[in-house]
């Protein structure tokens, strides 16, 4: 029976002692998008199946995003996308005893925040939170000033995971990634930072990951692409966690169903050697 109250959000806890693993639920194309075919019931069923597989395999949380909606709107998405994404996020938050996050592609942080509040999700991912980037959607500009004020107005504790030099994009100008990370954290007030490779499924450059880690030692840093069972230990010797999508899906292809065995292989690669992993790094107070 439908409840008028959103589920209580499960807090996202990021730790440097135990890597946080977040699995991605890549939604099928939503109503209004060019490749939309499946009715909402089927979209929700697939999302729940993927979410349950991620949790059963040992992931700590899930991030739901409208991955099937390409080509993406550069910023504000239409109401039908917000509504469909909210339905999926709410069902995942109700069904899974873990933190749920929202990413509204390509860069609608305001919609993601509203969805998270309504659905009982605990975090959002924002591809361009600060700075300006050229992308296949054109020029995207950060709207941290809007997002943070909206979060305050909603009296929300939803955390903001902000990408730095995000994939499928090039920063306008020559700002090094460390400085961009400091801006996102100290001026954009992001709760955690995400570092990716150049494209979906592309491995993270460990030198860039270290540059962000060194520049902002008081914020959690997550690897946001290309993490798999083979490289997870090396990546997580630098990062505090990872957001993993395509490596956990059939044939390692983004948008395919999540495969439980792939999830277990990744989690095993991370958790088994967890004892004695990198020493705790100093943090600024």
Q: Is the pLDDT reported for residue 278 higher than 80?
A: no
**pLDDT for the residue numbered 3:** 45
**pLDDT for the residue numbered 273:** 53
In 176-272, which residue ranges form alpha helices assigned H by DSSP?
177-182, 206-215, 232-235, 260-271
Considering the domain delimited by 20-271, tell me its CATH architecture: Alpha-Beta Barrel (3.20)
The residue-averaged pLDDT of 274-278 equals 47
Q: How high does pLDDT run on average in the chain?
A: 90
Stretch among 5-14, 22-31, 43-52, 132-141 having the lowest mean pLDDT:
5-14
Annotated domain spans of the chain = 20-271
* Residue 6 pLDDT grade (very low, low, confident, very high; cuts 50, 70, 90): low
The residue-averaged pLDDT of 38-42 equals 97
pLDDT, tens only, 93-118: 999 999 999 999 999 999 999 999 99
Q: Is the pLDDT reported for residue 1 higher than 50?
A: no
Between CA 270 and CA 264 the distance in angstroms is 10
Higher pLDDT, 16 or 83: 83
Percent of the chain with pLDDT over 70: 91
Burial grade of 174 (CB within 10 A; 0-12, 13-18, 19 or more): exposed
**pLDDT for the residue numbered 27:** 98
Q: Is the pLDDT reported for residue 261 higher than 90?
A: yes
Between CA 25 and CA 88 the distance in angstroms is 10
pLDDT, tens only, 163-179: 999 889 888 987 899 99
Q: Are 191 and 219 in contact (CB under 8 A)?
A: yes
In 174-252, which residue ranges form alpha helices assigned H by DSSP?
177-182, 206-215, 232-235
């Amino acid at each position: 029976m439908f409840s008028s109250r959103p589920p209580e959000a499960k807090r996202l806890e990021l730790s440097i002692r135990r890597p946080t693993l977040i699995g991605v639920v890549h939604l099928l194309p939503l109503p209004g998008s060019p490749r939309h075919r499946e009715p909402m019931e089927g979209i929700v069923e697939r999302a729940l199946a993927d979410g349950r597989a991620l949790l059963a395999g040992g992931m700590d949380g899930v991030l739901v995003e409208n991955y099937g909606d390409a080509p993406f709107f550069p910023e504000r998405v239409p109401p039908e996308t917000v509504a469909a994404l909210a339905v999926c996020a709410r069902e995942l938050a109700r069904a899974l005893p873990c933190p749920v996050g929202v990413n509204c592609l390509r860069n609608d942080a305001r919609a993601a925040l509203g969805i998270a509040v309504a659905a009982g999700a605990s975090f959002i991912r924002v591809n361009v939170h600060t700075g300006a980037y050229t992308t296949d959607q054109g020029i995207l500009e950060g709207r941290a000033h809007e997002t943070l004020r909206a979060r305050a107005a909603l009296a929300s504790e939803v955390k903001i995971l902000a990408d730095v030099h995000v994939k499928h994009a090039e920063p306008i100008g020559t700002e090094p990634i460390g400085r961009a990370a400091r801006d996102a954290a100290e001026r954009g007030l992001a709760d955690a930072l995400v570092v990716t490779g150049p494209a979906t499924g592309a491995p993270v450059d460990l030198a860039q990951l270290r540059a962000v880690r060194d520049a902002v030692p008081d914020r959690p840093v997550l690897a946001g692409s290309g993490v798999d069972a083979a490289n997870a230990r090396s990546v997580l010797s630098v990062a505090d966690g990872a957001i993993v999508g395509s490596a956990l899906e059939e044939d390692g292809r983004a948008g395919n169903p999540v495969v439980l065995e792939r999830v277990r292989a990744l989690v095993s690669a991370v958790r088994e050697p967890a004892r004695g992993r990198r020493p705790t790094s100093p943090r600024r107070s």
